[in-house]
Amino acid sequence: MLQFFLRRLGQSAIVAFGVSIIVFLLIHMIPGDPVDAIFASENVSDAEKATYRAQLGLDQPLWVQYALFLGNALRGDLGESFRRNLPVGDMIGGAFPATIELTLAALVIAILIAVPIAIVSALRQGSIWDRTGSVIALFGISLPSFWFGIVLILLFSVTFQIFPVSGRIGMDAGYQPLTGLVILDSLLQGNWEALWSGLQHLVLPAVTLGAAIAATLVRVLRSSLLEVKSQDYIEALTARGLAYPRVIRHMMRNALPASVTVMGMRIGGLLGGAVVIEAVFSWPGVGLLTVQAISGRDYPIVQGAVLVLALAFVAINFLTDIIHGWLDPRIKLQKTSAR
């Protein structure tokens, strides 16, 4: 297990290094000059712009800028915002809890939706329940998230006025931040008004973000359960008179490895998808911060935010590999036998 862990850790480190290069290059390929964007509404001479550009280090060769960026990033310094003159790390750190809360809520909703549908579809293969589950999964995969979010806003915020349109919590909820996670902080403080307000604001973006992953999980888990269902040991357990819920539990344990892998990849996708959803719902997370920074050509915020999200994706996939290897020892055995 230790060799498996170290091998995956080394692969993740290589991927993270490649990600840093790609992020840096893509950010600097964005059309437009950040200095021109900063002084767009001011009467500033070209000489003054050149001086400011030199102060920011944008006059240096690209490889020098990347070396400085990488060296500072390894020390935890992501630079300073061009426009706000604030440390990028602090800005991302302040916005990241909102993205984490949205991602976790979307994941919980996806699991609550997907697992029952997948189990019923697998146990009643070919029935109306199975076909309905397949249609729901196809519907969820096909819908663009931003369009689905807008529809939910028009339906539940504008028409019926059940949920708020944007934000994380009401202004009059008396919320005092501790960890940055509104739901957790409200529970710790016993502030039920803030908890209710936070849940109301969280429902629509979480459902929007969780719909796609729920649809994917339904299809993967259903396929895994159908494969496990046909195994001889399931018939043996049933023949022994084992209670049906316990049989389903055995099926789920053996169907988990493939589902966990997909879930890990989709969690990383949730972090990326949160960029669009946060913009739609004005959710003050890393995604909204990135969109605002892109429009202002604020390179340090954009490359810092994208790098943090990309590294989070790499870390999640690393943990997914470790959990998969723990759930399915055949992976390590196959690697050993290949040698």
pLDDT tens-digit readout, 140-177: 777 788 888 889 999 998 888 899 988 888 888 888 88
Query: Rounded to whole angstroms, how far apart are CA atoms 1 and 335?
Result: 11
Residue ranges covered by each domain of the chain: 92-292
Q: Is 92-292 a CATH 1.10.3720.10 domain? A: yes
The predicted structure's pLDDT at residue 336: 45
- Under 8 Å CB-to-CB from 123, ≥6 apart: which residues? 225, 229, 248
Higher pLDDT, 197 or 307: 197
pTM score = 0.78
The predicted structure's pLDDT at residue 337: 44
pLDDT tens-digit readout, 254-287: 776 666 666 666 666 666 667 788 888 988 888 8
Average pLDDT score over residue span 231-252: 72
Two tokens, residue 329: 């020892």
The predicted structure's pLDDT at residue 215: 82
Closest CA to 92 of 305, 256, 332, 306: 305
Q: Which residues of 80-117 are buried (b: 16+ CB within 10 A; e: fewer)?
A: bbbeeeebbbebbebbbbbbbbbbbbbbebbbebbbeb
Average pLDDT score over residue span 45-73: 80
Residue 204 pLDDT class (50, 70, 90 cuts): very high
Closest CA to 120 of 46, 265, 226, 42: 226
The predicted structure's pLDDT at residue 134: 79
φ, ψ dihedrals at 87, nearest 5°: -60, 130
Query: Rounded to whole angstroms, how far apart are CA atoms 15 and 9?
Result: 10
Two tokens, residue 270: 């949730």
Cross-strand partners of 80: 87
Q: Which of 47-51, 61-65, 178-182 has the highest mean pLDDT?
A: 178-182
Average pLDDT score over residue span 215-235: 77
Is the CB of residue 321 less than 8 Å from the CB of residue 19?
no
The predicted structure's pLDDT at residue 130: 79
Q: H helices of the chain, where? A: 2-28, 34-38, 46-56, 62-74, 88-123, 128-142, 145-152, 182-189, 192-229, 232-239, 244-281, 286-295, 299-327, 330-338
Answer whether residue 333 shows pLDDT above 60: no
DSSP 8-state class, residue 106? H
